[in-house]
Amino acid sequence: MTAASSLATILRPLAAVGTFVVNQVRAYRSRAHIEATLDWEGLPIVFLDRQNTVWRVILIRATASRTEELVVAGGELQGRLIDAKGWMSLGNLEDYLQLPLTIPANRREEFRISGKSIARALRETVGSGPVLLRIVVHDYQHRRLTTEPVSVTCEMLEQERSS
């Protein structure tokens, strides 16, 4: 066995792994997905004679697949205490957004939910301690998309600041 053939024997499985990883990345980028983050929101008007106030929101970014539109037909907001195991429903997504939401193919749209309304729902169901928050959406084809959990507290969601 020559050095070139033994090197080819070693590199062949590595090339297969590289191809697999590239295919997985392409598959992830081309499918629909949703993500949520804690963000700030303010009025689009700038006041020159007084302070401009901004407040906390949960920013939802929904991305449609490359080939077909994403229609968010329903879903729910879920929360749980950090050390708890089960998720509790904080309400239907229809309570916070006007559904259905349509995102054209190969596009990303952003939606916002007021932090104060989420904090109110958190206090009623889970409590006021540190909470993990996630959003689960369903489309018309009964596919389920779930965001990664976001760690928040009621105080964080109710924050306001002036600039």
Question: Which helix (H) or strand (E) segment is 17 a member of?
Answer: helix 3-30
- pLDDT given for residue 61 in this prediction: 95
pTM for this prediction: 0.77
Tokens of 101: 């939401």
| Cβ-contact 96, 56 below 8 angstroms | no
Q: Where are the beta strands (DSSP E) in 15-52?
A: 33-42
Look up tokens 């302070």; give the residue: 51
Rounded mean pLDDT for each run of 10 residues along the chain, 163 residues in total: 65 73 68 91 80 90 90 91 89 90 92 92 85 91 89 91 80
| Cβ-contact 93, 150 below 8 angstroms | no
Pairwise CA distance, residues 33 & 48, whole Å: 40
